[in-house]
Structure 1
Amino acid sequence: MHHRELIGELRMTSPDSVLVVGASAAGLSTVEALRRRNYSGRITVLGDEVHAPYDRPPLSKQVLSGAWESSRAALRTDEALGALGADFILGDPAVGLDVATRTVRTVSGRELQSDAIVVATGVRPRVLPGSEGLGGVHVLRSLEDALALRADLVPATRLVVVGEGVLGSEIAATARLLGAEVTMVGPQPAPMALQVGPMVSELLATLHRDNGVQLRLGVGVAGLTEADGRVTGVRLATDEVLPADVVVVAIGAIPTTAWLADSGLQLDNGVVCDSRCRAADGIYAVGDVARWNHEQFGGLVRLENRTNATEQGAAVAGVIVGDDEPYVPVPYFWTDQFDVKIQVHGIIPTDAEVEIVDGDVSARRFVARYRKDGNVTGVLGWNMPKQSRQRRQDVVDGLADSTRVPSVM
């Protein structure tokens, strides 16, 4: 049994009040699911940003490209938020939590007490040491980040994207479509190698090259060069310097848990929770910040994707109102780059066996199925969303047949 499985006793009745810390997609999903379950108690949502909840996947695509006005990223209209009957307190970050009294302190000095607390504070981008305060250096997590980067990306800008994961690959594709000269650098051999394995990452490398992205992969970054307070280049581990007018750092993210350092909660690459996403009696975590015991994976899992934010929020709402079911999702993420849409159900170990089960790789429309130790762990669709969704059941069956799925999370 998981070492935190017996935290407190399950409540027989719903709490009178719920405080959601994080006006995020996961936080909003929790609130909406509570109301769908006819929860009638007081709900407060505390957000560190001044914005009402908005969607993050469009930031690296539609918002960065200018196809969307920033307002289109809003998850709900003001009317829909008002209909939830929740008190939204925005622009006031949490700075501490007293677990015993379930009280959250904020920057402005507020003390918010509640019968149940849901931590939905997400993640913050990793930064390159020495890059803070340097002009032309960007990360991409918030709406302001996306708008600031867009403002710097006039055509013919020499952009270097540091990071070859999902976010770095999406930014590189969007910036290339805006006319920037784009170079992607990172230690992995191909774009998204850790997320999709060698076969598909090589196809992504070809896609990016065919669209004019320069790839300098398989080499680390030593630092940045600057002049007069603005970045001028990216220094590789080989000591070569790639000239840059603008640099985007997309090297992963860190769970936003510093505000919980003195709380007594277990913090280890996120807020550690049991299989019901419970970190302590009456305290839960959802979304990117939550690391919970996935009973089918046989260990702790933390997922940074939009689908999990919605599903985990709904699951925790259920626990709050009295459900007693473990949260055991099949991971899912998608990415859009140039004219390619990729969907991944499950997980893809880098050493998994791969077979094409629909379509044709040469036609650039296919579904690949991945096995590890004989069990299906994931399916990936390349421009075949419907077919990949139909193959999701293979992953569900694989999880049911396995006592432990190899995890990359």
Structure 2
Amino acid sequence: MNVVVIGGGLAAANAAAELREQGHGGDIVVVGGEPRLPYERPPLSKGLLLGSAEPEDALVHPREWYDEHQVDVRVGTLATGIDLDRRRVRLGSEELPYDRLLIATGATPRHLPPADASGAPVLHLRTLDDAIALREQLTEGARIAIIGAGWIGLEVASAARQRGASVTVLESAPLPLQRVLGDQLATVFADLHREHGVDLRLGAQVSGVEHDHGKVVLHAEGSDPVVADLLLVAVGVSPTDELAARAGLAVDNGILVDARLRTPDPHVFAAGDVANHDHPVLGTHVRVEHWDTAIQHGRHAARVMLGSDEPYTRLPYFFTDQYDLGMEYVGHVAGGTGYDDLVVRGDLAARQASVLWLREDRVVAGLHLNDWDAIGPLRAVVGQPVTDAVRDPSVPLADLVDGEG
């Protein structure tokens, strides 16, 4: 069986590894548009910016691994088309045949309108080269402006402040991360960044971006202009699903796949940021843009290619590190409002707590703040029925797993 993977990222590298670990002896070709071997993205907004990690630390595998495992990884190579009937991937004038195809093309940062940012020092953070360029700008006294207070925007703000830069963050919503966490938890992050000296401007609608003698000037309604040495645009990403759409695959906020990561074409699968997955536990389609999902999707798709009929049931998971706050989250709360109740164990103000989101009769998500023993119990509780003990914050989280709840 000949396997082709389009996309040279984390899902692709893990799919190739799982195929070999499961004994697949056929050809594996990984096609990636970036001029680098597959790498992990979390260091890009964390350790790499802080100087505690180097670019080579982000690689999933060294070059020797691909040679030893006979994985033909083609960097700097764009797939230009997919012929589903003939089972071919076009690479310009070349065609690659496949028996199984995995599309793991990831996502693309949303940009400002070109006219607004013309000539201004503007960066987006998606690639390793982006992170290297950004790190060079995070110096003592540098003025950094960030549009968007999502995970990337806030992690970069944290790194920039720790490197001695001044930071202004403009966010159109009333709170950072509001659509992900809801108001109560979003307030924790707003307070955290303001305590560390970030000029956090909420409800700020950016109306214009100008270039002025090497500086960038941002104009926002109801706010004074912001003058900065560099602007980071962190307003989210869009799934890179155009190739799949042109081929005739079903696309709606990503490539639509079933519980086993299969498209309607039995020879084609999708994984990672680009996959809009029919999650059997959550009971809805979800598209997750996080590190853990890319790893686990890639490995699961590989097993299904080899004949497994198991659905992908792992709950979405992500983590963040900002200043002295570490957080892990498992589950899914749609739009930050898809819940009926929030149960807090511990002290949110002290940032030492665990939290459960409840919807109807089910625990749909949970997180901890600086409570590193909590992630195991959280994984066990999320997805389970709501009981009186779950609703009672005096019952320790571990007891909900041990059966005492």
Fold match, TM over 0.5? yes
Instruction: Decide whether aligned partners of structure 1 residues 363 and 153 sit closer, same or farther in structure 2, where only a CA change above 3 A counts.
Output: closer
Ranges in structure 1 where 5+ consecutive residues have no aligned partner: 1-15, 400-409
Question: Are residue 297 (structure 1) and residue 282 (structure 2) matched?
Answer: yes
State whether residues 104 and 270 of structure 2, in contact with CA within 8 Å, keep that contact through their aligned partners in structure 1: yes
Aligned to 2:392: none
C-alpha spacing 1:363/1:240, structure 2 compared with 1 (3 Å): closer
Give the counterpart of 1:105 among 90, 99, 112: 90
Determine if contact 1:137/1:231 at 8 Å carries over to the other structure.
no
- Rounded Cα–Cα distance in structure 2 between residues aligned with 1:299 and 1:365: 31
One-letter identity of the residue aligned with 1:354: L
Cα distance, 1:290–1:96 mapped onto 2, change above 3 Å? same
Q: Which has the higher contact order (CA 8 A, sep 6+)?
A: 1
Q: How does 1:234-253 map to 2 (within 5 A)?
A: 234-238=218-222, 240-253=224-237
- Whole-Å separation in 1 of the counterparts to 2:173 and 2:42: 23
The match for 1:209 is 194
Helix, strand or coil for the counterpart of 1:111?
strand
Determine if the alignment matches structure 1 residue 50 to structure 2 residue 57: no
How many residue pairs get aligned? The number is 381
The TM-score, its normalising length taken from structure 2, stands at 0.90
Matched, 1:274 2:252: no
The farther-off stretch of 283-292 and 61-70 is: 61-70
In structure 1, how many angstroms separate the alpha carbons of the residues matched to 2:294 and 2:244? Answer: 20
2:394 corresponding residue in structure 1: none
Q: CA deviation at 1:372?
A: 1.6
SS of corresponding position for 1:385: coil
Question: Are the counterparts in 2 of residues 224 and 231 from structure 1 also a CA contact under 8 Å?
Answer: no
Contact 2:240 2:254 in 1 (8 A): yes
**How far apart are residue 152 of structure 1 and its match?**
2.4
User: Which one of the candidate residues 340, 343, 348 is aligned to 2:328?
Assistant: 343
SS in structure 1 at match of 2:366: strand
- Alpha-carbon distance between aligned partners in 1 of 2:99 and 2:13, rounded to the nearest angstrom: 18
- Tell me, yes or no, if the aligned pair for 1:277 and 1:286 is still in contact at 8 Å: yes
Deviation of the 1:368 alpha carbon: 1.0
Query: Which amino acid in structure 1 is aligned with residue 342 of structure 2?
Result: V
CA RMSD of aligned residues (A): 1.7
Query: Which range moved further: 62-71 or 167-176?
Result: 62-71
Partner of 1:96: 81
Q: How does 1:1-400 map to 2 (within 5 A)?
A: 16-107=1-92, 109-130=93-114, 131=116, 134-227=119-212, 230-238=214-222, 240-279=224-263, 280-348=265-333, 350-351=336-337, 352=339, 353-357=341-345, 359-398=346-385
Assess if the C-alpha contact under 8 Å between 2:204 and 2:223 holds in 1: no
Q: Partners of 2:79 and 2:373 in 1: how far apart? A: 41
AA of the residue aligned to 1:94:
A
- Aligned equivalents of 1:133, 1:123: Cα separation in 2: 23
Q: Shift of residue 201 of structure 1?
A: 1.4
- Write the letter of the residue equivalent to 1:43: I
Deviation at 1:231, TM superposition (A): 4.7
Q: TM-score, normalised by structure 1?
A: 0.89
Give aligned-pair identity as a percent.
34
Q: Deviations over 1:300-350 (max 9, x none)?
A: 211110000111111111111111122222111101101110111112353
